Amino acid sequence: MRVGTVISLLACLGLSSAQVITRDVTVIGGGSAGTYAAVNLRERNRTVAVIEKSGRLGGHTDTYFDSATGTHVDFGVIFYENLTVVQDYFNHFGIPLTTVPPSGGEQPQRIDFRSGTPVDASQGNVSDALSRYAVQLLKYPYLAVGFDLPDPVPEDLTLPFGEFVQKHDLGAVVDIIFSYAQGVGDLLQLPTIYVMKYVSLEVLDAIQNGFLQTTNRNNGALYVGAAEQLAADIFFNSTVVSMDRDSDPDWVHIDIQTPDGHQSIRTKQVISAIPPTLENLDGYDLDEVEQGLFGLFSSSCYYTALARVDGLPAGITAFNRANETQYNLPPLPGVYVLTPTAVPGLYSILYGSEDFISEDNVKEAMSQAVQYLQVNSSNPEYVAYEAHSPFELKVSPETIAIGFYRELNALQGHRRTYYTGAAFDAHDSSRIWRFTETLLQRMQGKQ
């Protein structure tokens, strides 16, 4: 693109050349992946701009502060696996971690939230089934980071998880996998590869030896620290209006809408760290290949809430289950679990659905389910709520089998753009950071 053309374009957008900023890398999305990328690019002496549509960093990391007790309560991301990248990231911001048991120390109960009746424990030897599930995971070491699948893709990875369970006699492990693989929709119909990505060897190790958690239970502190470090390089409440990755051989040109008006950025490279749905990528200049691949994704929905609830048995952690279903899994949409927090009377409620449900309808369903557990029925008082949608981007077994992820991986670096986030690994911050670290190392070789 000639200089005169660029100046004319800026004039049409109402931008002067003084309003154009130059960066080595522009990161789109300030969630778990995007924030990690931006912080670590700065550590590599790269200049960055972060475009974040909300007013904060952190994405699915939700932290509530209870002013009455001075207590922070995490209700989005809670735990992390014990990976070096996790330790290093928190150490960078001076945030101490501690090891906690997977249940949080509470005694769990299995209850049908439609009636309040108890549900029997799973049949079979759970420890033995977990060991046999681990043996299956060990067959696919290439699932450790990203979706680097062989050709042909092993048939077991594309089986609906329910069929995979029957094939390998893993029924006793379904209950515990369901407890960790939340937000994915119908677990038994989900292609097995996504279950293995979500409930990985690292998760099995944490189930056995404990997860990592911030000592003060304030995961939000990580993103407050990142925001302070990145400072003016973050454009909050901002979205991509247009993008030109082809016209200029030296630069990618991005126009964004900010609360203060339009801003133009010229950048050497782009990291897209948002869920790659066509709706989210509306401002991108997608080519036919990109549009074709991203258009194949479907997703489910996940909702988190904190509510003050009276009349519950002290310390109850209640998992939603059903007596009449296969493996006692509850029907969706529905509550996954109700868990006490460090604030007396304040509970975390997690809910899932295949399709998006409004906040009012989710809260109504949560309240109805909770009332079956109460000794004295009263309406919960919601103090915090977040809808995490789209969640768990996935494609069909047939699409996986014909090489979808091989083609998706080929987009890394295509048109000077790199991709990270849950869709490229798992809905797990620990794994996302490890994947992103690998991606940054790859990018560094192409400066």
Q: What is the rounded average pLDDT for all residues in the chain?
A: 94
| Dihedral, 80, 161, 134, 404 alpha carbons, nearest 10 | -70
For residues 129 and 135, give the distance between their C-alpha atoms in angstroms, rounded to a whole number. Answer: 10
The per-residue b/e assignment along 301-334, b for 16 or more CB within 10 angstroms, e otherwise, is bbbbbbbbbeebeeebbbbbbbeeeebbbbebbb
> Measured on CA atoms in the order 429, 435, 441, 445, is the torsion positive or negative?
negative
Average pLDDT over residues 240-259: 98
Alpha helix positions (H), 50-191: 84-92, 126-138, 155-158, 161-167, 174-180
Average pLDDT over residues 35-45: 98
Cα distances (angstroms) measured from residue 182 to each of 40, 248, 254, 261, 339: 29, 44, 36, 39, 14
**pLDDT at residue 17 greater than cutoff 60:** no
For residues 7 and 19, give the distance between their C-alpha atoms in angstroms, rounded to a whole number. Answer: 12
Residues 6+ apart with CB under 8 A from 43: 92
| pLDDT tens sequence across 254-298 | 999 999 999 999 999 999 999 999 999 999 999 999 999 999 999
Are the C-beta atoms of residues 140 and 157 closer than 8 Å to each other?
yes
Q: Could you give phi then psi for residue 7, rounded to 5 degrees?
A: -65, -40
Smallest CA-to-CA distance from 111 within 100, 103, 120, 102 is with: 120
**pLDDT at residue 11 greater than cutoff 60:** no
Alpha helix positions (H), 80-199: 84-92, 126-138, 155-158, 161-167, 174-180, 192-198
Q: Could you give phi then psi for residue 109, rounded to 5 degrees?
A: -125, 145
| pLDDT tens sequence across 122-176 | 889 999 999 999 999 999 999 999 999 999 999 999 999 999 999 999 999 999 9
The CATH classification number of 102-209+298-394 equals 1.10.405.20
**pLDDT at residue 13 greater than cutoff 70:** no
| pLDDT tens sequence across 400-427 | 999 999 999 999 999 999 999 999 999 9
Beta strands in 341-425 (DSSP E): 346-353, 381-394, 417-419
- pLDDT of res. 105: 54
Provide the token pair at 317.
């952690």
What residues pair up with 235 in beta bridges, in sequence order?
51
- pLDDT of res. 169: 97
Model's pTM, two decimal places?
0.94
Share of the chain above pLDDT 70, in %: 94
Cα distances (angstroms) measured from residue 377 to each of 211, 305, 310, 406: 34, 19, 8, 53
Distance, first Cα to last Cα, the chain: 20
Average pLDDT over residues 175-190: 97
Q: Could you give phi then psi for residue 46, rounded to 5 degrees?
A: -100, 140
Q: For the chain, give percent helix, strand, coil, nearest 5.
A: 35, 25, 40
Cα distances (angstroms) measured from residue 369 to each of 95, 114, 281, 372, 395: 36, 6, 36, 6, 31
The C-alpha R_g of the chain, in whole angstroms, comes to 23
Average pLDDT over residues 14-42: 89
| Dihedral, 129, 133, 138, 141 alpha carbons, nearest 10 | -160
Provide the token pair at 101.
């048991």
Residues in the chain: 447
Q: Could you give phi then psi for residue 290, rounded to 5 degrees?
A: -60, -45
For residues 145 and 18, give the distance between their C-alpha atoms in angstroms, rounded to a whole number. Answer: 41
- pLDDT of res. 2: 38
For residues 422 and 388, give the distance between their C-alpha atoms in angstroms, rounded to a whole number. Answer: 12
| pLDDT tens sequence across 299-357 | 999 999 999 999 888 888 999 999 999 999 999 999 999 999 999 999 999 999 999 99
102-209+298-394 shares the fold of 21-62+216-297+395-445: no
- pLDDT of res. 103: 62
Element (H, E) at 369: helix 359-371
The CATH classification number of 21-62+216-297+395-445 equals 3.50.50.60
Cα distances (angstroms) measured from residue 22 to each of 50, 212, 252: 12, 38, 10
Domain definitions of the chain by residue range: 21-62+216-297+395-445, 102-209+298-394
Are the C-beta atoms of residues 187 and 226 closer than 8 Å to each other?
no
Smallest CA-to-CA distance from 162 within 199, 119, 195 is with: 195
